Amino acid sequence: MKVSAALESPAQLAGELAATVQYRGRKASREGSEQRRLGILEAALRIIVREGPRGIRHRAVAAEAGVPLSATTYYFKDIGDLIADSFALFVQRSAANLATLWAGVDEDFQRIAAAVELNPAARHEMAAHVIDLAVVHVQSKARGRDDELLVELAFRQEALTNPELRALALAHQRLRFHFAERALRVMGSAAPVEDAQVLTTLILRMEYHAIVDGVEDFDLEAQRAVLQRFLDLVIGR
């Protein structure tokens, strides 16, 4: 059985989310106008990284974007729309990036899944592959001090008290979960849904410590050992 027969491709789901993200503010009618709208949203995201969503004000965003105050109020009638659309832009771009990344590893998934059917011991190859992907992902964020992770943390926090953001936050979160579930099914997990929840939580914890601990104090090998221990328990040694 091919992996795609068990679960829809995570790359496809990520691409679908990127294509269906909805914005609340005024739509741009011309290319130049669209560039200005995007510039305003990108400025809002930079403020969110520095100050959190509570730092979003029309005047502050206009100054950050280098546009007249009237431009921000033209596209976004209130702060709620500006915050919601900033996070919508984040989700759209994040999902598109994940679609590209996962499309690149899908061939490996198919190859390993076929090998597992012939020899269950090949499950360890999938486990090693997933650990490597997780480590490279977190390592790139830790070394680059990637603002994307800070925005994602702020997004999840905002969604706790903003019902209008909750559905988008859950859709974005499900992308990671779906990828983990698909990998765990190939590994032969007896409870792939539950195990996927644990695996995604462990990776989120790694990301959190990558920011809090800082590059110098972040023990990547210790985090790798945690993932290895968990997957050893899932598939057996």
- Domain of residue 147: give its range: 6-20+96-235
Q: What's the confidence (pLDDT) of residue 82? A: 96
Q: What's the confidence (pLDDT) of residue 167? A: 92
pTM for the full predicted model: 0.85
Q: Torsion-angle region of residue 214: left (phi > 0), alpha (psi -120 to 50) or beta?
A: left
For 176-225, what is each residue's pLDDT tens digit? 899 899 889 888 899 999 999 999 999 988 888 887 877 677 788 888 99
> How many secondary structure helices (H) and strands (E) does the chain include?
11, 0
The answer to whether residue 158 sits within a structural domain is yes
Q: Cα–Cα–Cα angle for 60, 63, 66, nearest 5°? A: 150
The answer to whether residue 50 sits within a structural domain is no
Which pair of structure tokens corresponds to residue 163?
Answer: 């019902």
The answer to whether residue 165 sits within a structural domain is yes
Closest CA to 213 of 151, 138, 148: 138
Q: Torsion-angle region of residue 78: left (phi > 0), alpha (psi -120 to 50) or beta?
A: beta
Q: What's the confidence (pLDDT) of residue 237? A: 62
The answer to whether residue 62 sits within a structural domain is no
The answer to whether residue 74 sits within a structural domain is no
Q: What's the confidence (pLDDT) of residue 60? A: 97
* 3-state secondary structure (DSSP) of residue 24: coil
DSSP string, 9-34: -HHHHHHHHHHH----SPPP-SHHHH
Q: How far is CA 220 from CA 24, 134, 203, 205, 232, in A?
A: 40, 11, 12, 12, 18
**Cα 17 from Cα 94, distance rounded (Å):** 10
Residue 78 burial (CB count, 10 A):
12
The answer to whether residue 174 sits within a structural domain is yes
In angstroms, the first-to-last Cα distance of the chain is 24
Q: What is the total count of domains within the chain?
A: 1
Which residues does the chain have with pLDDT short of 70?
A: 1-8, 142-146, 215, 237
* CA of residue 37 relative to chain centroid, distance: 23
The answer to whether residue 66 sits within a structural domain is no
Report which residue type is found at 18: A
Q: Torsion-angle region of residue 22: left (phi > 0), alpha (psi -120 to 50) or beta?
A: beta
The answer to whether residue 89 sits within a structural domain is no
What's the CATH code of the domain at 207? 1.10.357.10
Q: What's the confidence (pLDDT) of residue 48? A: 95
Q: What's the confidence (pLDDT) of residue 154? A: 92
| Inter-residue long-range contacts of 50-56, CB under 8 Å, 24+ positions, other chains counted | 52/154, 52/157, 53/83, 53/154, 53/158, 56/82, 56/83, 56/86
Which pair of structure tokens corresponds to residue 59?
Answer: 């005047």
Residue 124 burial (CB count, 10 A):
17
Q: How far is CA 136 from CA 76, 104, 128, 132, 220, in A?
A: 37, 14, 12, 6, 10
